[in-house]
């Protein structure tokens, strides 16, 4: 089940983020999600109604992600490529899982596709796991965008 996150979920979301960060580090992604990120923006995501959680059959939170409908300012300029469309889109950000629920990415993506037929995402070059999942589920690599000055590989998916 996917639902909007609420303030009371933050401690559980932080645990999911910590587990996801540990898996990133174990997989060789040593630079993503540092210096208090993404924890420092989650309250803003909740306030904007953009943070969602994936709950398992046990009711516990096992994944979290932001899904923002509308323009993503860091996507206005893309290097070494172009977006597939200028249509309105939604952006997946800050997706993390504790690894307990199998198929968490697919469930989150299906939810997002239900809100927007055009989905964009980006990730660090070192995040091989996320790049693999994006490509496995049909996203196309589109170029390089910059988020807070850091280069990211940009992807999109037209449903």
Domain definitions of the chain by residue range: 2-158
**pLDDT for res 67:** 98
**pLDDT for res 31:** 84
Q: What are phi and psi of 76, to 5 degrees?
A: -65, -30
**pLDDT for res 98:** 96
CA distances from 28 to 15, 124, 146 (A): 20, 12, 21
Q: What is the CATH number of domain 2-158?
A: 3.40.630.30
**pLDDT for res 152:** 96
**pLDDT for res 72:** 97
Helix-strand-coil split of the chain, %, nearest 5: 35, 30, 35
**CA–CA gap between residue 7 and residue 21 (Å, rounded):** 21
> Is the backbone of residue 148 left (phi > 0), alpha (psi -120 to 50) or beta?
left
Residues with pLDDT less than 70, the chain? none
Whether the full predicted model's pTM is greater than 0.75, yes or no, is yes
Q: What are phi and psi of 63, to 5 degrees?
A: -155, 155
The two most distant CA atoms of the chain are separated, in Å, by 45
**pLDDT for res 105:** 97
**pLDDT for res 29:** 87
Report the DSSP pairing between strands 90-97 and 118-123.
parallel
**CA–CA gap between residue 32 and residue 86 (Å, rounded):** 28
């Amino acid at each position: 089940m996917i639902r909007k996150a609420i303030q009371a979920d933050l401690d559980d979301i932080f645990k999911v983020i910590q587990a996801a960060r540990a898996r990133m580090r174990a997989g060789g992604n040593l630079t993503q999600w540092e210096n208090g990120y993404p924890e420092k923006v989650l309250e803003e995501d909740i306030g904007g109604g953009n943070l969602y959680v994936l709950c398992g059959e046990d009711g516990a939170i096992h994944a979290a992600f932001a899904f923002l409908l509308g323009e993503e300012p860091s996507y206005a300029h893309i290097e070494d490529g172009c977006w597939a469309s200028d249509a309105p889109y939604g952006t997946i950000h800050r997706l993390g899982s504790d690894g307990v629920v199998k198929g968490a990415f697919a469930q989150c993506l299906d939810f997002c596709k239900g809100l927007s037929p055009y989905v964009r995402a980006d990730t660090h070059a070192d995040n091989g796991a996320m790049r693999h999942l994006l490509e496995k589920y049909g996203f196309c690599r589109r170029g390089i965008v910059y988020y807070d000055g850091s280069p990211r590989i940009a992807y999109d998916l037209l449903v």
